[in-house]
Amino acid sequence: MHKVASALTIAGTDPSGGAGIQADLKVFQEQEVYGMSVITSVVAQNTLGVQDVQHLSIDFIEKQLDAVLTDIPPQAMKTGMIATVDMMELIAKKLANTNIPYVIDPVMVAKSGDSLMDEKSRQVIRNTLIPHATVVTPNVPEAEILVGFEIHDNQDAEKAAKVIVNELGAKAAVVKGGHLEGAAVDVLYDGEDFYYLKADRFETKHTHGTGCTFSAAITAELAKGKQIKDAVVIGKDFITDAIQYPLELGNGHGPTNHWGYRLKSLPGQREVSK
């Protein structure tokens, strides 16, 4: 009997559907993985920004986690923005008792460039969550916070990915190149080799939830048993198509297209190399 793969997302909500829990569940469904969710924060946000947020209690978050883990254990899980130190420590405690592949999208910097975390929270992510991670998916500003130096080019991204793996303890890291000039090149380091995932850059403002969508696609593929490199390559294809075929919704930074992956891709658009 075929067993359906399942994946768990632990994150906040987005009532406009472009990011957070809602985006993750859409990606899991598109990738034919049974999606489950644990909500940490209820967020009032849309394509124009965040208006308000209400954090759930640690006790209730733990009850949600236990409800999932004791009944339908996922084959992979991911976290997005984890708002408080207590939430991070709870998730780390649960991760310590499992071997489930874990993807962390370290949401630390807003699109405006403002930091979303104080130094204590950054230290907890470095010391308690990243050591459990199968894959960490920071963009350039987030990677700079994690490693403590500036990233200007692919060589700097290589160095950062290596620090995240060799010093912070993750199995693999993908430093996303969207903030750098030129083609959109993501640098993957799996503890042994570097891979360069290249795709065309599309001029669009519809990029709300790109980090959530990319990391969710990787999580779905890990849940199906893919190796890290293969999961990341599929995730790169998924987010590239999601950006390439925008839905043009909202008055601000609109959502990506979570079914763009179903559409025919342009030939020669992307490349993976060592």
What is the average pLDDT score of the chain?
90
Q: What amino acid positions are annotated as catalytic residues?
A: 176, 207, 209-212
Residue 259's SS3 state is coil
CATH superfamily of 6-273: Ribokinase (3.40.1190.20)
* Three-class HEC string of 205-227: CCCECHHHHHHHHHHHHHHCCCC
**Tell me: the pLDDT tens digits for 115-124?**
556 778 888 9
Ranges of each domain in the chain: 6-273
Q: How far apart are CA 213 and CA 45, in angstroms?
A: 17
**Tell me: the pLDDT tens digits for 65-114?**
999 999 999 999 999 989 899 999 999 999 998 999 999 999 876 554 55
pLDDT at 83: 87
Whether residue 221 contacts residue 31, with contact meaning beta carbons closer than 8 Å, is answered with: yes
Residues 165-185, mean pLDDT to the nearest whole number: 88
3-state helix, strand, coil in the chain (%, to 5): 40, 20, 40
**Tell me: the pLDDT tens digits for 7-53?**
999 999 999 999 999 999 999 999 999 999 999 999 998 999 888 88
pLDDT at 67: 98
